[in-house]
Amino acid sequence: MTQTHPSLTLSLLQAREAAMAFFRPLLNEHGLTEQQWRVIRILHQQGELESHQLAHLACILKPSMTGVLGRLERDGLVSRRKGVEDQRRMFVTLTAAGQACFEAMRGDMEANYAKIQAQFGADKLEQLMALLNALKRVEP
């Protein structure tokens, strides 16, 4: 029988689930999905973005992004506007309520990162982030 390699993709998914266990209760408390939080966080960091750029940065497929943005807009957390010169371009920005949501969650989110770091170790977490960033640059 041939020996198979450990599954990189499965290990990454399992590690993601372990990390998300720290954050899901807070997201649930604020009535947000993981995807919605990623959008809010990225818009807070980057400012206004085109919807396709936002989808890429948040790792959300464009069809799914439409629903995510629709719910965030319905809840008053983001606003969308069409491009002036090209009506096909859609720009997304956080509203004041979206900024307030981010600020309301920021402290608890940082506390969860601190819990992970305390258990995993600051050096190992820094090394892991560097390795993951290097893996993202690997070409298929």
H/E stretch holding 136: helix 122-136
Least confident segment among 15-29, 42-56, 78-92, 118-132: 78-92
Distance in angstroms (rounded) separating the CA atoms of residues 57 and 20: 18
> Are the C-beta atoms of 79 and 70 separated by less than 8 Å?
no
Domains defined for the chain, CATH in brackets: 22-136 (1.10.10.10)
Residue carrying structure tokens 């307030």: 100
pLDDT at 57: 96
> Are the C-beta atoms of 84 and 69 separated by less than 8 Å?
no
pLDDT tens string 8-46: 999 999 999 999 999 999 999 999 999 999 999 999 999
pLDDT of 1 above 70: no
pLDDT at 102: 98
| Mean pLDDT for the stretch of residues 41-70 | 95
| Mean pLDDT for the stretch of residues 37-61 | 96
Read off the pTM.
Answer: 0.88
pLDDT at 2: 66
